[in-house]
Each structure stands twice: as C-alpha cells, then as structure tokens.
Amino acid sequence: MTRSWRGIFTILLTPFHDDRTLDLDSLRREVDFVVAAGVHGIVSPVNSSEFYLLADDERRQLVEAVIAHVNGRVPVVVGVGASNASTAESLTHHAREAGAAGVIAMPPYVLRPSADVMRDYFARIARVADGLPVVLQNAGGEVGMPLASSVVIELAREIPAIRYVKEETAPASHRISELLSLGGDVLDGVFGSGTGGRHLLNEWRRGACGLMSGCHLVDAQVRVYEAFASGDEAAARSALYRQLPAQNLWSLLGLGLAKEILRRRGVFTTAVCRRSVPALDGADHEELDRALELVREDCLSLEGVA
C-alpha cells in the first residue's frame, strides 16, 4: 500500500534547446534542483510541462529520464492524460514499467466525452496501472474539461484506484471543501490548484493534502509548507507573501516567465517554450528582478539574478 502523499509534489517544466528539441541535461539538473529543495514528490509531464505539444515517444523519453535520475529519492507521478483511452492506456503501461509511483490524468481533452466514455477511460487507466494510485486531474482552462465534484466522487467510488484529485476548477478552494465533504471516505487526498501556490494556505486550511504546481520557486513553496505543517502559520504567511509578486508576474506572463526564472537560477539553458508565450521586454525583466529579490531568502540560490 502506498503511503498517503502529502506536501509539495512539484511539476517539472520541460526544457528545450533553441531548436525546441528536448534538453535532457537541463531536465536532470531540474530533478536535482527540486530534490535539493525538499520536495515530497515530482509530477511530469502535465499541463505546465507542455505535454500536449510532446510526441508520445518524447513523453516516454522524458519519463524514463526523470525516473532514472530521481532513482527513488522521491515518488514520481507520471502524466498519462490523452485524447483517447487507448493512448492513455499505453502511456500508463509505460509509466508503470518505468517505475512510476502513480499516474495522473485529466479526462480526454479534445472532444467532450460522454459519461460512459469517461468512465471507460479512467477504468482502463486504473486497470493498466495495476495497483498504482491514480490522480484525477480536474482542470478547466484551455485543455481541461471541468467535472462537478459529485461526478469526481462518483468516479472515485466506481474506480477504487482513483485515490487522489488535483482540483483546479475555480474557485478551487470551494471545490476542495466539496470533494472532502462528499468523498473524504474514498479519497486519500485532494491536491491544491497550482497557480504558483498563490492560494495554498487557503487550500491547506480547507484540508488539501498538498500542492501540485510548477517548480520555478519550489524551494520557497517548500518553506511555506514546512512552516504551516509545523504550526507556524504566521511564518508560512510571511513566506507566501514574499513570493506573491513573482507568482503574480508568472500568472500575467505565463510559462516563459517561469522558464526564465529557471534559466536565471542555472537550471535551464534556455527559456524556450513550444507553446506560444509573450516575449519578455525590458520592463518585465526589471519587475522580475524586484520580485525575485523579495524571495531571495526563501530560495536555495538565486545567483543568476541581476
């Protein structure tokens, strides 16, 4: 039986060379960076990893590289979401064989599935996962299909392998409360909404078991979690507030900003994205300088910051 997951399960961003091919050397540095930061688990590839712009073979290559380099230091939860059950099934089989601790999937994200199609999709993932916990990612936005809390719990009751939910539909804090009220007996936990961890204290106070969000300031997020878990909510709030300017800037400018932070921190070689993102101008870089200065004390290193 897998020990219940709690804490910061950080999402790896996918590093690319200038020609947009996978940069596996940067990926391995990213793994070492987040483990050194004290994360409780790693998640990849999901939305923040640009999984929808990776070929299936690239997804497998990435998963193999991550699990091999983690080498058992923390659990790795592999994203297996797909547009159809057959592909999700194949990716789940690969994740299990590669050594994943669990898998995470949204519902099929291209065409809205019927209830029967969605039930079959998750049932097939669960069957191939063969005992690994399944995290149901309940996401809206560009590629998600948000589900009502009652539907999520119904799926979890019908498919016992669904042990966790990553709740991202707005307002996620209310959804977390609903899920735990409706199905706290069938779930091992509900992870918070991501969004750079801007709402994590609200979510944790409502009973969330942890956070799944991008890793660009993961050491600062770990500091918030550790203070909160030790009962020092005042210190947790102070640490959270120090990172809000950087996370708000990320919310405004998107994935390219997060990758620029990792580039500045010496983790990535480039800030290249496959998805279209705004180019950072001089004023953006000045704002980022100021925002990172506020969070410097919470981070392992920010040597690359001007």
Residue-wise pLDDT tens digits, 231-271: 999 999 999 999 999 999 999 999 999 999 999 999 999 99
pLDDT at residue 133, rounded to an integer: 98
pLDDT at residue 110, rounded to an integer: 78
pLDDT at residue 109, rounded to an integer: 82
**pTM for the full predicted model:** 0.95
Residue-wise pLDDT tens digits, 144-174: 788 999 999 999 999 999 999 999 998 999 9
Residue-wise pLDDT tens digits, 169-189: 989 999 999 999 999 899 999
Residue 2 pLDDT > 70: no
pLDDT, mean of residues 65-90: 97
pLDDT at residue 303, rounded to an integer: 52
pLDDT at residue 170, rounded to an integer: 87
Domain map (residue ranges) of the chain: 7-216
Question: pLDDT averaged over the chain?
Answer: 94
Question: SS3 string of the chain?
Answer: CCCCCCEEEEECCCCECCCCCECHHHHHHHHHHHHHCCCCEEEECCHHHCHHHCCHHHHHHHHHHHHHHHCCCCCEEEECCCCCHHHHHHHHHHHHHHCCCEEEECCCCCCCCCHHHHHHHHHHHHHHHCCCCEEEEECCCCCCCCCCHHHHHHHHHHCCCEEEEEECCCCHHHHHHHHHHHHCCCCCEEEECCHHHCCHHHHHHCCCCEECCECCCHHHHHHHHHHHHCCCHHHHHHHHHHHHHHHHHHHHHCHHHHHHHHHHCCCCCCCCCCCCCCCCCHHHHHHHHHHHHHHHHHCCCCCCCC
Residue-wise pLDDT tens digits, 92-113: 999 999 999 999 999 998 778 8
pLDDT at residue 111, rounded to an integer: 78
pLDDT, mean of residues 288-292: 96
pLDDT at residue 302, rounded to an integer: 57
Residue 52 pLDDT > 50: yes
Q: Could you give the percent of the chain with pLDDT greater than 90?
A: 88
Known catalytic residues are 166
* Assigned superfamily of 7-216: Aldolase class I (3.20.20.70)
Residue 229 pLDDT > 90: yes
Residue 47 pLDDT > 90: yes
